[in-house]
Each structure stands twice: as C-alpha cells, then as structure tokens.
Chain A
Amino acid sequence: MELRDGDIAKLDDLRSALQQMGRERGRLIPILQRVQEQLSYLPPAAIELVAEHLQIPASEIYGVATFYNQFRFNPPGRHPIKVCLGTACHVKGGDIILENFERKLQIEEGQTTPDREFSIDRVACVGCCALAPVAIVGETLYGKMQPSKVEGIVLRVRIEKEQQERDQCGHEPSPPADLPATPAGS
C-alpha cells in the first residue's frame, strides 16, 4: 500500500527519534514496537530505517517481525475490529461473530476495507473471558456479543463519522438519503 502524506511526516520524526535509541541488537523489538505505535503498521520504508540504524539486514528484521503476532505490514482501518477467539469466546460462538463482521464489511480477517475505515483481526484472548464472546471496535469493548449486534455497531460508527464530518463542515444536516449505503442483506 502507498504511504499517506501523514505517514511520510511521521517517518521523518522516526528518523530523528531513532538517533536517541541504542544500537544494540536487544533494542530491535522495542524499536519496532515504537515504529508501529507511531505509524500503526510497519511499512517497508520504516524497516529500511531500522535496518540502517541497527546495522542489520532488512531481511533479518522481517524475519523477526513476521514471527510475532503484534506486528502488521498493512495499515489497519481507522476503526480496527478485533474479534476475540479465546477458548471461552470460541465455546460461546466467537467464530460466528467474526463471520458476521466479515460478511457485513465484505472483507476477510487480516484485511482492511478499501476506504480504510475498518479492518478485521482475530485475537487469541483479551482476558475478559467472563464477558464472552467479546469484540473490540476501535477503543470500545463489546462484551456478550450477538450476531445481530454487528450491523448496529458498524452502522453506529458510520453515522458518527457522518455526524462529525457534518459538524466540521458546518453544513446543514443532509437528508437521510445521504447516509452511507450499507449493503442490504449482504
């Protein structure tokens, strides 16, 4: 995926921030975590920067980064959706929740919607097993999920975004027909 303008500025920040950090091998994972914190994923350009800083080949960094689940190589959506598939969530039907998000957004787990609004990931356990099944959308955790709640959650995020855009533009409220069309029955 192409870098966005904001990301290029962040890469410059990163270059200067790296100068403050140690160059020993043990710093590799903390540095990658820092990069991902700032850019929300590890673009190839950032890996090159880290490789140069630590004086190890980029291939070696990819070797380490792909080993760990935390690192991602494509940008997440603005509202990342994480569906918990730990034991308790599995027993209570977490995979059905995941499927419903996939169907609703027409993407698969690990992918991002073309408008970069949503991405879907599975997580092993978020440690809220008593609330199973659990899904996290953006920063909000939804416990005791049900398949029929999925549509409402997605719609709420879309309406909130619409609302924000309207507030920012200062336009008059647009007629309901302007609401983003959600594919019916998909």
Chain B
Amino acid sequence: MSPLPQQTYQRLRQEADRRRREFAEFPGPRIHIGMATCGIAAGALETRTAFEEALTEFDIPARIHPVGCCGHCYAEPVVIIDHPASGFPPIFYPEVNAGKARMLAKLFLKEGDPRLEHILGATVANDLVPSVMEFPRFNLERRMVMEKCGRIDPEDIHDYIAEGGYAALAQALPRLPAAIVEEIESAGLRGRGGAGFPTGRKWALARDAAGDEKFVICNADEGDPGAYMDRTLLESNPHQILEGMIICGHAVGAQRGIIYVRAEYPLAVRIVTQAVCQARELGLLGRAVLGAPFGFDIDVFQGSGAFVCGEETALTRSIEGFRGMPVARPPYPVQRGLDGKPTIVNNVKTFACVPPILENGTEWFRAIGTPSSPGTAIFSVVGSVVHPGLVEIPMGASLRTLIFDICGGIPKKKKFKAVQIGGPSGGCLSEAFLDTPIDFDSLTRAGAMMGSGGMVVMDEDACQVDVARFFIDFTQKESCGKCTFCRIGTRHLLGILERLTQGQGREGDLELLGQLSQDIQTGSLCGLGKTAPNPVLTSLRYFREDYEAHVNEKRCPGNMCRPLIAYYIDLARCARGCNACEGCCPVDAVFITRDRKRGIDQVKCVKCGECVTACPPEYNAVRRVSPPHLAPVVERPPMGENSSKLEAESSTKLG
C-alpha cells in the first residue's frame, strides 16, 4: 500500500531539518546575500566575490548563503551577517559594495567589530543593536506572500521545506477537492492579477466543468512597466508558487500545470525551471504526488513579450502557438481554455496566497485586510520616494501610510503631486486621494485600478500630460489590433497628446480626448482596450490645469515636456572659470561669454538637463523655464574673440 502523503512529507521534512541543523550548528559566521536580479544589478555578484576572496585571505571559516530579494531595493546589495561568536545578533547591512564587503570581513568577521555606522539594524530585537523592526519601513509591512523571500535560498528546495514549505500540500492531498475549493472560497481570496475575480468561484467553475483533462496556468507574464513583484517571487521563493499550483490541480482535478513566464526574466526562468526539477526529484511532482493517487506535472513556457498576453484568452492562444489575440468570452477558459480543455489561469501572487491560507485557516486570512478584499497587497513603489522597493501591506491601508510612512515620502523636500497606480491600465491619483484605502473596490471607484501593483510616485516636477502620453504610447504599441477602437483610437489619442506636449495643442483637444477615451472603452473586447484610456481620463479629471497650461499657454507646469522648456545660465550666479557644465554637455551647446562665464546656445541644446546635475551646488546657476521664450538671450561671442579669451584663461590657470 502506498504511504500516506503526510508520512512521505515527514520524511522530506526530516531531511530538510537535518540540513538546516547542520547549517545552524556550523560555528562560524554566516553571510546571507540578496542575489535576485535587482541585487545583481546593484552589484551583488561583486560583493559575493569580494567576500569569498576576503574569507580566503583572512582565513575565516564562514559560509555564504545566497538568498532571494527581500524587497528593500533602496538598500541593494543587501547583506545580513549572522556572527554568533561575536556576541551580536544577525545584522542587516545596506549597500554593501565590494569595498565594504572586504572591510566587514576583516573588521567584523575577523576582529568582531560590527562597524555600527554602516548598519541598518539588527534583524531581531536585542539589547545591543537597534532592531530594524523599529523602523516603519519594516514594522508597518505585513508579510504573508513574501514572508520567506530573502530568507531562503531559492535554488534549494530543502530550505523551503525546512521553513514549513509543502506542509499545506501534504495536508490538502488527503482532503476532498470540494472541501479545498470551499475553503478558498470562504477565505474570500480574490485574484491578484488586477481585476480581483474571486479565486474560489473560478476554481469551483473549473472543478464542475466537464472533461477529464484540465490545465492549471500560472500567469507570470508581468508586462506592466514598473511592476516586478512577480519576478521577485519567482526568483526568491519559487516553491510557494509551485505548491499553490499543485494544490489547485488537486482541487480542480487537473493533471498538468504551465508557468507562463516572460522570457525577458532570464534569472526567473532559470530558477523556476530548476525548482520544477527539484520538486520532481523529491516526488512533489509526477505520477503520484507525495505518494497520493494524484498525478501532476508542471512545464515552464517562456512568453515572448506581448503585453496583451497577460489577458487569459490571449495567453492560452500564445501557448497554442498563435498570435496572442484575445477571443470573446464566454466561453471562459474555465469552461474551454487551452486546447479547448477547462483551464484555470491565476496570477503568481494568487497561487502564492494558497499555501498560507490552507495552513493558517480562513479565519486568519479574513482577519487581515478588509471584509471585501481580505489578505495583503504587494506594491512596487518606485519613482520619487526615499525608500523605493517592494512593500507588502494589508489591504485597506491608506496611500498616505504607504507612500509617506513606509516609503519615507518625497526626497529633496519636494512636494507630492501624483501617484500612478496599476500601470497602463490604472490611473493617476492626486493628493486628495492620499487617504483612500487601498483595496480593489476603492481604487476602481477612484478611476485607478489595483492592476498588477505597480506604483510610481511623482513629485511637483512631473507633467501629467507627458505621463499620459507615455502610457498611451505603450498601449498603442501593445494593442493586438483586433478591435478597431483600440487599434486606431489609441493611435489618435497618442497623436493628440503628442501635439499637446509639443506645444501645438488646439482648442477642443481636451473634449476630444475625453470623448475618444470613452469610445475606446466601449468599443474594445479585452481589458487592454477597456482600460487603456484610464491614464488619460484620470489625469484629465484630477490634473486638468496641467492640460490647460499646455493648450492655452504652451507651458509645461512640470518643466518636463522638452519642446516647451529651455535651459539658461543665471549669469549672476555663474562662477568665472568653472567649467562643469561645458565639460558634461553632450552636444557642445555651452559657450564662454565675454566675461568668461558660461551661456547656452539654445539652437544646439537638446535639453538633457545634464548641466543642472553638473553645476556645483554652491553656484546652482542653471535654470529651467517654460515656455522657452522666458530664457534670457545671451550672445555667443564671435569665434576669434572667444578663442583668445580661452587662451588667456588657460594661461592664467597655468600661471
């Protein structure tokens, strides 16, 4: 007789615990380095090499433990050093470059001095070092989906099992599928892909659909520019997603799962493929999952970069080998999906929510968040904030808490202007909405959308017309071309917005934008077209003065639209002999004036703004104005005169 799933699981757990003990009992220090794409981009590979070299050089018996991303992108590369022999608790170090790594290896690991001026805090409460949990960036978060991210090695399945992973699967397998579907339904879990469809109802429909062959698809085609939580989850904790998919397979009676992941995420593809292989080796996938009479296997399919493939019918067409164009629903994929078979398509985060729910119960889940949107939401907060990164908060928290308390507010003492939520399908909200609770329904009412959870914060220097143009440019390129309104309508929207940002706006343009947007919403089949005008509609509603300034005054209030601005050098502040702006100008537009200060040739200037960055703060002489005719005219001296001045200047410098 085949052993029960629980018993098989216990054996896996014992093995994982043994390995964990071996690691924990190792007397030397342990170095955890965040090695997801963002960490690597910030230089985690160099940090790791520096540690390895230093450990050999100073002969320190330490272990390096590569982990995933903990979401604190502002602090990358992140290193946590656990050095029990020093008497200090595990310490979180931000921005550890190669030099800092070497210094820490020598001074902390070798000599026992943790260099407290470089720390962010200890990871646990203690009497010696302030804990990171005292900071709002840490203690206002509620980690459920991302709980294990940044703590475990994503390339080692035992690390996940030792943290209690796959226990929910072992519990679920002996239960009746109907009971699991019911539990997910009563937990009130809503799909995390953006629209918020109740997951339990979707599963129930798929379970009741006729047919022996069914599919479970994990939608990891995260095409929304500015959102990267799915990538982080796949790179930092792939097994939680696999576990959710296997449980779903058992609940709806499917035998095959497919993870549809963007080919643009090479590391995520590699890690998730490896995770599937490891799960197969341990019998968590295959003919008899954990020895139970239930077979399930998962394949990884690489999406080829089409935004519209995030829509479930387009996604299945793409897997079948066709152009990813949405088809009319019904029939819904849960009735007739991939190859005409009942198919569940859920987002990465939805599957990742399933194991914690089954483990802790529906009451526990419903206690987090709001009654209509229980659970947590993950946002990638980027743009003008002090602490950008991934934040997991309970639903119902306000935008103000998220932006100002957790992410530290707007840098450089600038004012908050807008927050863009939900990417190309979402909208821009103004200051008046800062106290709006974050959940599916409130955001939709405000005209934005939960979407995939991308959030871009903009300060007073942002131009809402330009942001709307940016998103329409994106959706216009990504429209699959099936519906006329989406294909041609977005093209016209873009044309009007481009005119506005170039200072060629006409009377009546704003009304036309509003009308066209509504027509596109009505005349489109799928979510892409239905939501594409949202960025225009919300910015028209909340930032109409920006639009009016573009049309009536040919002025850009945020000084962003380059045809509408000019740079000039304030001669009262410019210092003689300083050459910073001239040296950095990529097009040689900076010239020397008669009294050896600097001026900008408006014809040559490409308005890249590099001279603003280069001008030393004590002079702060470069100004940006809109409309461009406000810039004072400074004559460029004739060639001969200029060069003789230059010679005179260089000779005085030499002298």
Contact = CB atoms under 8 A, between A and B. Distances in A.
A82 to B, nearest CB: 10
A125 B225 CA distance: 5
Contact of B388 (A127, A130, A134): A130
Contact of B264 (A30, A123, A130, A146): A123
A148 interface: yes
B614 A148 contact: yes
B340 interface: no
B324 A67 contact: yes
A26 B340 CA distance: 13
Contact of A69 (B76, B228, B305, B458): B305
Interface in A92-116: 92-93, 96, 99-100, 103-104
A125 B586 CA distance: 26
Interface stretch (A9-17, A83-91, A158-166, A175-183): A83-91
Contact of A147 (B222, B383, B480, B610): B610
B610 A146 contact: yes
Contact of A68 (B41, B320, B324, B423): B324
Nearest to A91: B383
Contacts of A103: 586-587, 606
B321 interface: yes
A25 B320 contact: yes
Contacts of A27: 321
A88 B456 contact: yes
Contacts of A129: 73, 226, 228, 380, 382-383, 388
B306 A64 contact: no
A155 interface: no
A99 B225 contact: no
B586 A148 contact: yes
Contacts of A69: 304-306
Contact of B470 (A24, A90, A125, A126): A90
A46 interface: no
Interface size, B (range) = 35 or more
Given A91-B383, A96-B609, A130-B73, A28 B228 contact: no
A143 interface: yes
Given A26-B319, A130-B73, A125 B226 contact: yes
Contact of A28 (B265, B321, B458): B321
Contacts of B471: 87
B223 interface: yes
A121 to B, nearest CB: 11
Given A29-B318, A130-B73, A130-B388, A91 B225 contact: no
A96 B562 CA distance: 10
B321 A100 contact: no
Contacts of B227: 125
Contacts of A25: 320-322
Interface string B260-294: 00011100000000000000000000000000000
A128 B37 contact: yes
A68 B606 contact: no
Nearest to A27: B321
A33 interface: yes
Given A87-B225, A91-B458, A93-B609, A131 B42 contact: yes
Contacts of B423: 87
Nearest to A61: B321
Given A27-B321, A100-B608, A132 B382 contact: yes
Contacts of B383: 87-88, 91-92, 129
A185 B389 CA distance: 38
B88 interface: no
Contact of A185 (B42, B588, B610): B588
A124 to B, nearest CB: 5
Interface string A140-151: 010100111011
B610 A86 contact: no
Nearest to B39: A128
B302 interface: yes
Contact of B307 (A96, A124, A131, A146): A124
B608 A130 contact: no
Interface residues of A, number: 48
A47 B320 CA distance: 18
A55 interface: no
Given A26-B319, A27-B321, A87-B423, A134 B302 contact: no
B229 to A, nearest CB: 9
Nearest to B228: A127
Contacts of A150: 586
A85 to B, nearest CB: 8
Nearest to A31: B321
A148 B74 CA distance: 23
Interface string A18-58: 00000011111110110000000000000000000000000
A138 to B, nearest CB: 14
Contact of B223 (A64, A124, A143): A124
A93 B231 CA distance: 24
A30 to B, nearest CB: 7
Contacts of A33: 263, 302, 304
B608 A131 contact: no
A173 interface: no
Contacts of B37: 126-128
Nearest to B390: A130
Contacts of A124: 223, 225, 305, 307, 474
Given A25-B321, A29-B321, A130 B38 contact: yes
A70 B305 contact: yes
Question: Which of B225, B302, B307 has most A Cβ within 10 Å?
Answer: B225
B138 interface: no
Given A124-B474, A130-B76, A67 B323 contact: yes
Contacts of B587: 103, 185
Contact of B304 (A29, A91, A123, A151): A29
A88 B382 contact: yes
A97 B384 CA distance: 19
Interface in B91-126: none
Question: Which of A28, A70, A86, A129 has most B Cβ within 10 Å?
Answer: A129
A158 to B, nearest CB: 17
Given A68-B306, A90-B225, 6 more contacts: A28-B321, A33-B302, A64-B321, A87-B225, A103-B587, A130-B73
Interface of A: 24-30, 32-33, 63-64, 67-71, 85-88, 90-93, 96, 99-100, 103-104, 123-132, 134, 141, 143, 146-148, 150-151, 185
Give me the 8 closest cross-chain CB pairs, A-B, nearest first.
A130-B73, A86-B225, A68-B304, A127-B228, A69-B305, A87-B226, A28-B321, A129-B382
28 contacts: A26-B320, A28-B321, A29-B304, A33-B302, A64-B323, A67-B324, A87-B382, A87-B423, A88-B383, A88-B456, A90-B225, A91-B456, A92-B383, A93-B608, A123-B264, A124-B307, A126-B264, A127-B222, A128-B38, A128-B41, A128-B228, A129-B226, A129-B383, A130-B389, A131-B41, A131-B42, A143-B42, A148-B586
